[in-house]
A and B are shown apart, each in its own frame.
Chain A
Amino acid sequence: MSTMNTVGRPTTPNAVLTKPATLTGGRGLLQNEGLIFEGEGWGKTGVDLPAPKGDGSDLGDLVRRDPIGLPGLSEPEAMRHYVRLSQKNHAIDLAIYPLGSCTMKHNPRLNEKMARLPGFSDIHPLQPQSTVQGALELMDTLSHWLTTLTGMPAVALSPKAGAHGELCGLMAIRAAHRAAGHGLRSDKPRNKVLVPTSAHGTNPATAAFVGYTVVEIAQTEDGRVDLADLEAKLGDDVAAIMVTNPNTCGLFERDILEISRLTHEAGAYFYCDGANFNAIVGRVRPGDLGVDAMHINLHKTFSTPHGRGGPGAGPVVLSEALAPFAPAPWVVNTGDGFKLVEREEDEAGQAFGRLCAFQGQMGMYVRALSYMMSHGSDGLRQVAEDAVLNANYIKARLEDLMSPAFPEGPCMHEALFDDEWLKGTEITTLDFAKAMIDEGFHPMTMYFPLVVHGAMLIEPTETESKAELDRFIHAMRALAGAAKAGDKDRFKGAPFHAPMKRLDETRAARQPVLRWTAPDGSNMAAE
């Protein structure tokens, strides 16, 4: 035979040798990447623009003469910079992202395609309404889906995120009480808001913002609102209660009908934090529970991307009593077309005001509606069922090794553990979470809710396959075993395999360095 392989290189690896550190700090696919301010971008631009005719001298002294301090990158450099940065981020597209109360479900790509249709993305908020009837119709359709799913008569679309929605709901409540003669500066003010100790921080922050005094409601041994404490604290000085349901411990408030009855009897309103709506969408309507206002996080239940922290959208569904106070603007179907109501006079007479410029997060409305239409009412019901099933599966498969905070009965869409099971190991919830990173998983929510010691809140969502759940459970069980067997170093020094080790947050807070500055203290590198 003739010799075919003239190169003769080997095709199986050598014996395993010890791993040397690299000479330049690179690590295989992971690249080191400095700041754009540390590169060669001073004086460069990566955008080709025609040359301007003049120099703006018609504006005289108003013209900016001093250097601004903004480096520029050519397109290839920009792609490299951001692709290198992206490699250092965990993401839903990589693995289960079990952050409790964040609902990190898959982000359908159809949503992105729809949001980018020029008919939605290339329209100005203040164009004549006759030229944007399709956009107004979309807002109206979204409103219809939200009100039907929640069983509520009205919705305010404009809040830009959940916390903004809470502000909207509380301000509507404030306006309603004022109209009834119980405003904060009246003779018989309703100036308190009752909030469970387990609430998300935005609840008391928002209530205080709006001018209310926050009073905490105790929790029972089985993780729910203490009815007796609630009843004792309700009175004619209470404006509202703010309850999350399912609550932040992942449990459905069994006494919810009684909670809303007592609240209404006391003349107060029931604000529901809708962050956990994913557990009940299509199976329960908040309107049937006596809710007066509830914000819905479109970036949670309705899949609009979390995008490393926004943009979100927090429309608020409102009861009959609160609907008249919803902020401007909103969309009406006149029968002869769609109209945006912007003025506070006329139809918007009692609106408590306006929350932001223009009409809210249209880009997120398109994505959310694309998601809702894709699932349909039957698909959405299945979403809640699978979300709850997945969380209970995780709880069932981990509860022999870890300690569920509320072992009796099922959880809803998230499973809560405390750190009781780690007693005696010297390993904390934080250490355990950091070790999960080494195994390839983004940790669950830690130390929230505050009412549970060393809390670990796991929310898988419905878009995890059984295979991925089993993979996660396997890693958790292995780690739990290692923790109990005294393998401390694995946890104390973790993460070892992530792009960075644990970071010094104390230093960042004591000596805040919040921006790049040149070594000489200026905004730009020296020429």
Chain B
Amino acid sequence: MKFTKDHEWVKLDGDVATVGITKHAADQLGDVVFVETPEVGKTVGKGDSFAVVESVKAASDVYAPVAGEVVEANEALSGAPETVNADAEGEGWFAKIKVSDASQLDGLMDRAAYDALLATL
């Protein structure tokens, strides 16, 4: 699993990357009330806003850590947004992206580096 400095995580499996927000981000947001997942088939560039996560008092854009085509969105979140709080880095995934350039993941942080970043915040 790799991490961005904007608190997204990405896990590559073949050429499909699963993306979500980190536990830290979910904790910061508070109770998640709604997730706006991207349309399947949409093409996103690296760093593009491709989803929105809402809590009662905040709404955050979620940025695509890699470029590619959205092949699946986590429909279950619409009925159970609290999944993001319960299991942000597992069941709380937002979307799966078919990656156009896997090397884009190289520049991202691994778990240790991300934890180190969190320690500085």
Do A and B have CB atoms closer than 8 angstroms in the complex? Answer: yes
Binding site for B on A (CB under 8 A): 447, 505-506, 509-510
A506, B32: Cα distance in complex, Å: 8
A392, B82: Cα distance in complex, Å: 44
8 Å CB interface, B25-84 against A: 30-31, 33-34, 54-57, 81-82
A509, B56: Cα distance in complex, Å: 7
A506 cross-chain contacts in B, Cβ below 8 A: 30-31, 33, 55-56
Counted as pairs of residues, one from A and one from B, with CB atoms less than 8 Å apart, the total is: 17
Nearest to A508 among chain B residues (CB) is: B56
A447, B55: Cα distance in complex, Å: 16
**How big is the B interface, by class?**
10 to 19
A447 cross-chain contacts in B, Cβ below 8 A: 57
A510 cross-chain contacts in B, Cβ below 8 A: 31, 33-34, 81-82
Nearest to A506 among chain B residues (CB) is: B31
A505 cross-chain contacts in B, Cβ below 8 A: 56
Binding site for A on B (CB under 8 A): 30-31, 33-34, 54-57, 81-82
| Shortest CB distance A71–B (Å) | 31
| Shortest CB distance A208–B (Å) | 14
A447, B58: Cα distance in complex, Å: 12
| Shortest CB distance B26–A (Å) | 13
Beyond contacts A506-B56, A510-B33, A510-B81: 10 other A-B pairs, Cβ-Cβ < 8 A, are: A447-B57, A505-B56, A506-B30, A506-B31, A506-B33, A506-B55, A509-B54, A509-B55, A509-B56, A510-B31
A505, B31: Cα distance in complex, Å: 9
A506, B82: Cα distance in complex, Å: 10
| Shortest CB distance B119–A (Å) | 19
A482, B100: Cα distance in complex, Å: 59
The 7 nearest A-B residue pairs measured at CB: A509-B33, A506-B31, A505-B56, A510-B33, A509-B56, A506-B56, A510-B81
B31 cross-chain contacts in A, Cβ below 8 A: 506, 510
| Shortest CB distance B77–A (Å) | 11
A509 cross-chain contacts in B, Cβ below 8 A: 33-34, 54-56
Nearest to B31 among chain A residues (CB) is: A506
| Shortest CB distance B60–A (Å) | 14
| Shortest CB distance A433–B (Å) | 14
Nearest to A512 among chain B residues (CB) is: B33
A246, B106: Cα distance in complex, Å: 48
Q: Can you list 6 contacts pairing A with B, beta carbon distance less than 8 Å?
A: A447-B57, A505-B56, A506-B31, A509-B55, A510-B31, A510-B81
A14, B56: Cα distance in complex, Å: 48
| Shortest CB distance B9–A (Å) | 23
| Shortest CB distance B115–A (Å) | 24
Most A Cβ at <10 Å: residue of B30, B31, B82? B31
| Shortest CB distance A201–B (Å) | 11
B54 cross-chain contacts in A, Cβ below 8 A: 509
B30 cross-chain contacts in A, Cβ below 8 A: 506
A516, B56: Cα distance in complex, Å: 22
| Shortest CB distance A494–B (Å) | 19
| Shortest CB distance A61–B (Å) | 39
B81 cross-chain contacts in A, Cβ below 8 A: 510
A197, B34: Cα distance in complex, Å: 26
| Shortest CB distance B13–A (Å) | 30
A268, B37: Cα distance in complex, Å: 38
A271, B82: Cα distance in complex, Å: 42
Nearest to B30 among chain A residues (CB) is: A506
| Shortest CB distance B30–A (Å) | 8
| Shortest CB distance B121–A (Å) | 13
A447, B57: Cα distance in complex, Å: 10
| Shortest CB distance A325–B (Å) | 33
| Shortest CB distance A446–B (Å) | 11
A510, B54: Cα distance in complex, Å: 10
Nearest to A509 among chain B residues (CB) is: B33
| Shortest CB distance B114–A (Å) | 24
A510, B82: Cα distance in complex, Å: 9
A505, B32: Cα distance in complex, Å: 11
